[in-house]
A and B are shown apart, each in its own frame.
Chain A
Amino acid sequence: DTEVTQTPKHLVMGMTNKKSLKCEQHMGHRAMYWYKQKAKKPPELMFVYSYEKLSINESVPSRFSPECPNSSLLNLHLHALQPEDSALYLCASSQDRLARGTETQYFGPGTRLLVL
Chain B
Amino acid sequence: GEDVEQSLFLSVREGDSSVINCTYTDSSSTYLYWYKQEPGAGLQLLTYIFSNMDMKQDQRLTVLLNKKDKHLSLRIADTQTGDSAIYFCAETYSGAGSYQLTFGKGTKLSVIP
Q: CB within 8 Å of B: which residues of A?
A: 2, 6, 40-43, 45, 48, 50, 55-56, 88, 90, 92, 97-98, 100-101, 103-110, 112
Which residue of chain A lies nearest to B44 when distances are taken between CB atoms in the complex? A107
Report how many residues on chain B are interfacial, defined by Cβ distance under 8 Å. Answer: 23
> Are B99 and A100 interface neighbours, CB within 8 A?
yes
Q: Which of B41, B43, B48, B97 contacts A43 (CB 8 A)?
A: B43
> Are A108 and B31 interface neighbours, CB within 8 A?
no
Report the Cα distance A50→B33, complex, angstroms: 21
List of A residues within 8 angstroms of B97 by Cβ? 98
List of B residues within 8 angstroms of A97 by Cβ? 98-100
> Are A55 and B45 interface neighbours, CB within 8 A?
no
Q: CB within 8 Å of A: which residues of B?
A: 30-31, 33, 35, 40-45, 48, 88, 92, 94, 97-101, 103-106
> Are B30 and A101 interface neighbours, CB within 8 A?
yes
List of B residues within 8 angstroms of A105 by Cβ? 45, 101
List of B residues within 8 angstroms of A48 by Cβ? 100
Contact A112 B104, CB 8 Å, known A104-B31, A106-B45, A107-B35: no
Q: Which of A2, A56, A112 contacts B45 (CB 8 A)?
A: A2
